[in-house]
Amino acid sequence: MFVTFITPAAWLRRLKVYQYGAQVYGTPDSITGPLILAGIVKRAGHHVEAYEELNGSFDYDRLLEKTDVLCLYTMTSNAPRAYELADLFHEKGHARVLIGGMHASAVPEEALAHADQVMVGEGENTILDVVEGRLTDPIVKCRPVCDLDSVPWPDYSVLKTPVKAANIMTSRGCPYRCSFCTTSRMFAPYRRRSVDSVIAEIKHYHRMGFEYMNFEDDNFTADKERAKEICRRIIDENLQFKETFFFGRTDMANDPELLDLLAKAHLNWVLIGIESLNQESLDTIDKHQSVEDIRRAGEACREHGIQLIASIVLGIDTDTHEDIMRAVQFAKDIDASKLQPAVLTPFPGTPVYEQYEREGRMLNEKEEDWEVFDMMNATFQPKHMSPWDLEMTFFDAANKFYDRKSAFRMGKLFGWRFGVTRYVLGILARLGRAATWEAGVLAPSSWYGKLRNAKWMFGDEKDERKRQRQVLGDDWMRAFQATVALMLPVLVAVGAHGRNSK
């Protein structure tokens, strides 16, 4: 059989300008799950091809003609695109359509309206039986993998869209269960691979010629002694990559030996969830960390030369706009290389989604609305600001962090490449704000138009009148900023053409 695996991307992420921004922000990689499943199917003797829409375009007419089984991976934001592709292959092709992933696992009945079968949970133990027709249940509840060493590595030979970084998952799940987190529920309980298994996979990617690598564990340093042993093996066997990214927590700062080993093993990029500098907010989302832990982690990363990506959550019930801006300033003060402002997003299957549904605070009304559930958009009624204010706060945070002054500081501290990256990200953040504002004003039927015009359920009439005045009063200023931001590339191009024509 001809089996095709596709990881869809929402329309925004298929735009060339977005893909360029993603490449500036980080090294292109591929989601590991579909490549693991694709490898299992390939070794069973089937022809397998895998594609990621985020990383490039491809010939759908050819796939419609040839594909016998289509496997689609869903996260919440790409679910509408997955359903669109499923319907397309049903209408114009002959493929049997399977849908899996985190979103489908949370709402399998919804996904089944577009699929022949839906796979819920971890698919390694069941993918072959479903593809080859031995399991025919409409909703297949997959058994979790107990022994992670038995899971084959991702098969990059079937991937037809380009990547530059190899991904490794050395564990599944997380000992912590933040109230907004989906992966700690999809991959429960927390399990780990042996160090020997991890090192063997790292050697495999070196032989393949990868220069960049990502540890995709929710929390690579959750088991600190195991993380130390992996780092020692990387150092002793000279298995460092040019750059290696991992997810960590603030508690890694409590172990100086771990920090030394991470730096020597070239684990030189870490994303840490700062989330908030408001202790009440940290307790609300079950973060299990203190503000002092955050400060210590920032200092420790800087001292060890580990580039920090600071992640903050926008829209927690106990946070105000001032709290958010304070967290952004803190990220600048500790010389974080990048900021990941993440709008609190109530994903299906999480406690926060269930709470907001009960309270009538969710803004999504139809299936297509899942596309904005990407941590860049307001999808609910916040308590301390309107939905539109929360949307604009996302850009306020990015613009405050990626300013010109901090770009020069990054260049001075870490080299010109880091400074240029910071500066370009600042330009893209301003373009994003301009485009979002224009969509809110000029396209009232769009999601942004809906946010801009949505009444704030936690505001009284006085608050609503004040909000409307602010929105209308801001329009002239934002119109000027939007016009300048969107015209800047055109003016630069015209100027360059004038110089070249002389």
Which of 144, 147, 146, 148 shows the shortest CA–CA distance to 168?
148
Statement: residue 470 has pLDDT above 60 = no
Statement: residue 117 has pLDDT above 80 = yes
308 phi/psi in degrees, rounded to 5: -100, 125
Q: Computed from CA positions of residues 204, 206, 212, 215, in that sequence, does the dihedral angle turn out positive or negative? A: positive
Which amino acid type is present at position 142? C
Give the pLDDT score at 501. 46
**Inter-residue contact 251 to 289 (CB < 8 Å):** yes
Write out the two tokens for 130.
């479903």
Provide DSSP, 2-57. EEEEEE---HHHHSHHHHHHHHHHS-----HHHHHHHHHHHHTT-EEEEEEGGG--
pLDDT tens digits for 313-357? 999 999 999 999 999 999 998 889 999 999 999 999 888 999 999
Give the pLDDT score at 70. 98
Write out the two tokens for 14.
């298929």
Average pLDDT, the chain: 88
Statement: residue 177 has pLDDT above 90 = no
Give the pLDDT score at 180. 63
This prediction's pTM: 0.89
Q: How many CA atoms lie within 13 A of 391 on its CB side?
A: 29
23 phi/psi in degrees, rounded to 5: -70, -30
